[in-house]
Amino acid sequence: MRSLALIPPTMLAACSQAEADPRGVDRDETLLTVSATGQSESRPDEARFSLGVETIARSAETASRLNAEKMQEVMAALAEFEIPEDKMQTSNLSVGRIDYGPNRGRYRAYNILAVRMSDVDRAGDAVTATTNAGGNLVSGPQLTQSDPEAAMKAAYADAYNNARLRADAYAEAAGLQVSRILTIRDGGNGYRDGVYSMNDAMVKQAATAPPPPPLVRTQNVAPFQPGTNQSRVSVTVAFALKLATS
């Protein structure tokens, strides 16, 4: 009498199933991966700049005192623009002996303030006012968005739409059509943001530079144009294509 080997149902099911495609597409589908970029423009709503005072004197005490007095004048000029206190931060405060150049043996004092100003249209006026008040270390303004993610929403949509248009064009040329989306990968953005302040390298450069010429105190403000900032993002999308149906 012959005996029959019984195969468990689970093994039979495994044999009948095709091996899964690691790309995530079915047997009747074709994988298409497309990279695209998108961009948008938005008006800046924040101006960031650094301003400060450098003083040189025979003693550290005198350099610090003169620096504090001049910085008070700069702050008084800045107060006219009603900038909240949490939008201003001291980024560098130092006193040191000069060991080189014509001022060797004297002392140099720095006081540098990083400012964020929401009234973008008056940023030029603020820089001019603080310079006329005695600020001799000024960088900026840098015009930016306080909420960069909100500013880039349109760029994200533009990037995906461009990827889809490209996928549709490839599919049509091959006699296929997009059946579904497999993956969407963010490729990063080209929008730069951050507190605009004078770093240590900039301070050292200022320390080795020759003294600035006398400031011209004038009430005339050069035209200041905020313009628009451009946000640019990239995306990579994987599409599954199949034969086009009539």
Predicted pLDDT at 183: 93
Predicted pLDDT at 59: 96
3-state helix vs strand vs coil in the chain, percent to 5: 30, 35, 35
Checking if the pLDDT of 116 tops 90, the result is yes
Q: Strands of the chain (E only): list them.
A: 30-42, 46-57, 88-97, 107-117, 137-144, 176-189, 229-243
Q: What is the pLDDT of residues 189-242, one digit of tens each?
A: 654 433 333 334 433 444 444 444 443 333 344 556 788 888 899 999 999 999
Nearest of 81, 195, 72 to residue 127 by alpha carbon: 81
To 5 degrees, how large is the angle CA 48–CA 53–CA 54?
Answer: 130
Q: How far apart are CA 69 and CA 1, in angstroms?
A: 112
Predicted pLDDT at 213: 41
Mean pLDDT of 13-42: 76
Quickly state the pLDDT bin for 84 (edges 50, 70, 90): very high
Mean pLDDT of 70-96: 93
Rg (CA), the chain: 31
Q: How far is CA 169 from CA 88, 137, 178, in A?
A: 52, 55, 10
User: Of 79 and 191, which is predicted with more confidence?
Assistant: 79
Predicted pLDDT at 192: 42
**The pair of three-digit structure tokens given for residue 117, joined into one six-digit string:** 């100003």
Mean pLDDT of the chain: 80
User: Of 246 and 86, which is predicted with more confidence?
Assistant: 86
Q: Which residue has the tokens 């938005």?
A: 42
Q: How far apart are CA 111 and CA 130, in angstroms?
A: 13
pTM over 0.75: no
In the beta sheet, which residues pair with residue 142? 48
Strand 229-243: give its sheet, edge to edge.
30-42, 229-243, 176-189
Q: Which domains does the chain have, with CATH numbers?
A: 24-42+146-207+228-246 (3.30.110.170), 46-144 (3.30.70.2970)
Q: What is the pLDDT of residues 93-103, one digit of tens each?
A: 999 999 999 99
Residue type, 89: Q
**C-beta atoms surrounding 49 within 10 Å:** 22
